Amino acid sequence: LSLEERLASYVVEGTKEGLLPDLEEALGRYTALEVINGPLMAGMEEVGRLFNNNELIVAEVLQSAEVMKASVAYLEPFMEKNESSVKGRIMLATVKGDVHDIGKNLVEIILSNNGYDIVNLGIKVPPERIIEAFREQKADAIGLSGLLVKSAQQMVSTAQDLRNAGIDVPIMVGGAALTRKFTKTRIRPEYNGLVVYAKDAMDGLDLANKLMD
Ligand code: B1M
């Protein structure tokens, strides 16, 4: 197998044997983010496909997630950093009912490497917790992540709850089940402030930079 195929296969197989030397080798050819967005994400796509076809069980997907997390942790120190002054504070949460956090945590790494102070509220975060945290710590924007189809709907009700709590800072949403159209037609009308859709973590950084300008 080529290096790229091996990297994808660690994720698919859920094994870490040989992973670190291959990640090290990959850093000689690619940036850390390219390794994540390329072969590792390709592996995750394949995991999603196999899971969808009932060829993998949840326990196996969990092992794949472990490999992805270990890879991101290894690559994190090699990611580009932009040591500017703090541009703003962003609160991040995976919405109520959803445990997927690899994407959200990648968004955290990229934003914090680029001058943002991040308050990461974790997974399955109900709107009340976001509101409480916002009141205690303030933030310039709130980022919501969700991968399940029902999470898209959860974002609509979270936006309503935030609005009802008088919050109007920009909201950034992202995750596999969402689209720009859903964001615009379903979430935005329920909120008193800007709602923007980020297709990936780098897009999230670009949007955050625009929002904070
Ligand atoms: Co789950 N899962 N999962 N899963 N899982 C999906 C999402 C699914 C599409 C797989 C499938 O069937 N093909 C499917 C959803 C179906 C649906 O609703 N339409 C699914 C399902 C069904 C489930 C369970 C219900 C399975 C079960 O228990 N029967 C269950 C749900 C539990 C729950 O949430 N209540 C479940 C559980 C799990 C694990 C725990 C095993 C594990 C998660 C581990 C973890 O996150 N700690 C897991 C995994 C790993 C996946 C897949 C395979 C991979 C997700 C991932 O980490 N991708 C996924 C299939 C897939 O996506 N191909 C799947 C890598 C990550 C870097 O990408 O998170 O998309 P992603 O983030 C991207 C962008 O979306 C964006 O930036 C990132 C890239 O730069 N982004 C943002 C994300 N959030 C953002 C926020 C932003 C900006 C950008 O601003 C705030």
Helix (H) or strand (E) segment spanning residue 135: helix 127-137
**CB 102 less than 6 A from any atom of ligand 1:** yes
d(CA 7, CA 17): 11
> Is 100 in the active site?
yes
Q: Which of 106, 58, 49, 114 is nearest to 84 (CA)?
A: 114
Condensed to tens digits (0 to 9), the pLDDT of residues 147-200 reads: 999 999 999 999 999 999 999 999 999 999 899 999 999 999 999 999 999 999
Which ipTM score applies to this complex?
A: 0.98
Taking the centre of ligand 1 as the mean of its atom positions, its distance from the CA of residue 21, in whole angstroms, is 27
Q: What is the spatial distance between Cα 86 and Cα 195, in angstroms, rounded to a whole number? A: 22
Is residue 72's pLDDT more than 90?
yes
Does the annotation place 117 within a ligand binding site?
Answer: no
- Single-letter amino acid code for the residue at 43: G
67 alpha carbon – ligand 1 mean position (Å): 14
Residue 145 assigned to a binding site: yes
Q: Whose CA is nearest to atom 82 of ligand 1?
A: 174
Least confident of 32-36, 78-82, 110-114, 133-137: 78-82
Distance, CA 91 to ligand 1 centroid (Å)?
20
**Ligand 1 touching residue 174 (CB < 6 A):** yes
Element (H, E) at 124: none
